Amino acid sequence: MDPRSVPFATGRHQVGDGCHAWLQPDGGWGWSNAGLVVGDGASLLVDTLFDLHLTRAMLDGLAPLTEAAPIGTLVNTHANGDHCYGNELVTGAEIVASDATAREFADVPPAAMAALKGADGPVGALFQRFFGAFDFEGITPTPPTRTFSDRLGLDVAGTRVDLVEVGPAHTEGDTIVHVPDAGVVFTGDICFIEGTPIVWAGPLDRWVAACDLIVDLDPVAVVPGHGPVTDTAGVVRVRDYLAWVDGEVRDRFARGMTAAEAARDLAGELASSPFAAWGEEGRIAVNVETAFRHLDPAHEPAGVVDLFQRMAEIEGWAPPP
């Protein structure tokens, strides 16, 4: 199967033997992908979605496959809410994640997102801009019931599935899901395709190494955390962006720029870079901030509201008066 033939349209798409992607255009903030691996009478789900409405619609859309092969295992690739807030709806499944993901699970609960989105004034307007399409009310956080470190092999009713921990990178605990016989990798947010990656944890070189690992697996199809299904060429483009940011930030750090100054300076160069067409270009603000934190242990990190404000400003948005 040519992964480029898979349409980037909402819903279920077969990407390999027994492997399916659930895609959500346009792949921007919160519009994440999930996956399903169907064995002989049981299935494994890769991630849930950002709210209960979206997750319920996905589970309904997967029902033609899961009625004969119920979901017995749910893997959370990391702890960002758009990959796990719907966990409670996958009743009866064992929920598997890396140890580091489990530790991060309570860091940003749905109630916190609801509060930020509902805040008065500029803060509420800011988070409405990024997350206004999602409903964070009434979600019960449902953490992993089984954890692992490094690697874990699973047998999904006769189908081999390998979980490989590649974080810290995007978050402190990132996992990719490899189905070797089908030649499919579900990357979680190690891959953003046609959108800008966001480096919450880093370091950047570890994320670069995670991309190299995926390429070395030589998959036929790669299902990213956000964006259309791709092949290894798409993974290489993500790696190239991260390596470019790493080098450019090191140069600006050595010249004495602050993280905010370096982000604005790099944002000006994006338009003439190979990554100019990617969405969410404001994420350069977070990526630079994270890189500075690793370059200088004494760096005073910016708060999350400040970071979202920087991203919005780079993208030309200002809160209403």
Q: Residue ranges of the domains in the chain?
A: 3-231
3 state SS of 178: strand
Q: What is the pLDDT of residues 168-212, one digit of tens each?
A: 999 999 999 999 999 999 999 999 999 999 999 999 999 999 999
The mean of the pLDDT values for the chain is 97
Query: Has residue 53 got a pLDDT over 70?
Result: yes
What is the DSSP secondary-structure string of 19-46?
EEEEE-TT--TT---EEEEE-SS-EEEE
Crossing angle between the packed helical segments 259-270 and 284-295, to the nearest 10 degrees:
140
Query: Has residue 154 got a pLDDT over 80?
Result: yes
- Region 29-57 average pLDDT: 98
pLDDT band at residue 319, thresholds of 50, 70 and 90?
A: confident
Query: Has residue 230 got a pLDDT over 90?
Result: yes
Per DSSP (E only), the strands in 157-215 are: 159-165, 175-179, 184-186
- Region 140-164 average pLDDT: 98
CATH superfamily to which 3-231 belongs = Ribonuclease Z/Hydroxyacylglutathione hydrolase-like (3.60.15.10)
Query: Has residue 1 got a pLDDT over 80?
Result: no
- Region 210-230 average pLDDT: 98
| Residue-level pLDDT at 4 | 80
| 304 touches 107 (CB < 8 A) | no
- Region 291-302 average pLDDT: 95
Q: Which of 195, 206, 189, 164 is nearest to 84 (CA)?
A: 189
pLDDT band at residue 321, thresholds of 50, 70 and 90?
A: low
d(CA 183, CA 160): 11
| Residue-level pLDDT at 24 | 98
Tokens coding 34: 């999930």
Q: Which residues pair with 151 in a beta bridge?
A: 164
| Residue-level pLDDT at 318 | 83
| Interstrand relation of 221-223 and 94-98 (parallel, antiparallel or unpaired) | unpaired
Percent of the chain clearing pLDDT 90 (strictly above): 97
| Residue-level pLDDT at 128 | 95
